[in-house]
Amino acid sequence: MKELHLKNAGCQHIRIQPSLRFEEVTGALLLTPYVLAAVILYPHSDRGALTIASLATCFPLALATYVSIPRLVVALRKKDLCNINLNAEVDAQRVAEPGSLWACALYLLYLIGLSVVCTRGSQTTLFNTIIVNMAVMTLMGLMDDMVPLGYPAKILAPVLAAIPLYVTLHGTARPSVPLLSLIGLRDAYGLGYLGHFLAVLLTVFFVNSINIHAGINGLELGESAVIAVSLLAHNCIEIAKTAAISDSSTATELIEKHLLSVQLTLPFLSISAGLLCYNWYPATTFVGNMYTSLSGALFAATSILCDSSLMMLMLFVPQMVNFVVSIPQLIGIIHCPRFRAPRFNPKTGLLEHTKNYTLLNAALWEVKLYAVQ
């Protein structure tokens, strides 16, 4: 897409151009996973061909997201919905946020259409419940971008949004908590109410973890894309493995759930590809809490749906490490400022660590020590 020059209401010149080429990002982030899914799903599922054919529309979805961003950036700037770019010089232009507004809306609308084409019977109810779950969390993220919400709201909202999904899955799925098998329990029901409580805690953690790493252009999008690609690969492997060893009704049901996860994940990669082109350094727009809440809700829902909490926790290891490192500031032992991200040094042109307790600052500190030696 060519560079776009527009003017906002204050006649300030706005330069809007992507930092990455759309065709390159789409090829790496969407085409490769799509081909992988097509090769595995087509021969191993009766509905695989329909799913793959329907998901071919993910490419127009990525293009629609990419094309919509410049106009959205202008609209956000006119309303002064902007934020400071910590990766830029002090007098740099503020960056529009949330730039994921249209992308999230397109994603949810796309899923509604996909549910009509690719789901049937009880799967339609389950798919629509997940859409409602993600829509609620997307709305919470939008509210957080407009009027910052406190921790109680960010903890309570994922719990309430997950209730319909748990109710829909009742009798067909059992909430899992990682490592329970070590004490002889297969799922959360073995611990009674404590097991359900632990499963809910995992949901809250997944929803609120994506924006733990913030302050670097493209980081939230990048980590979400990596997790989504890993999740897609996991689903494809599970479908192939299940289809190869069994054709029972239980195996069919499991394959259906992994197919639903694929149908949720590929469109998410589509909007992520379009957004990443403008969110990469130097960022033209920030995705905001709207996108991070949506992605967290997606990962939480798929972990519940496919009984893959342990695998999901492994993908969230950096977030867990960051949480542990941040505890002294989070509980008030050490002062906790609003922005704890690394800072850009205009003299050196490098991103440098601050004294805040985060995994990113620790990593940059280690890099600096290594460079000095």
For the chain, what's the residue count? 373
**Cβ neighbours for 184, distance < 8 A, ≥ 6 positions apart:** 190
Residue corresponding to tokens 């972990």: 303
Q: Is the pLDDT of residue 174 over 80?
A: no
pLDDT tens track for 105-123: 999 999 999 988 887 777 8
pTM of the model: 0.88
Do the Cβ atoms of 257 and 47 come closer than 8 Å? no
In angstroms, the CA 234 to CA 300 distance is 15
pLDDT tens track for 237-248: 888 888 777 667
pLDDT tens track for 84-105: 887 776 667 789 999 999 999 9
Domain range list for the chain? 4-315, 320-373
Rounded to a whole number of angstroms, the CA Rg of the chain reads 21
Q: Is the pLDDT of residue 81 over 70?
A: yes
| Structural tokens at position 28 | 């790496």
pLDDT tens track for 48-66: 777 888 889 999 999 999 9
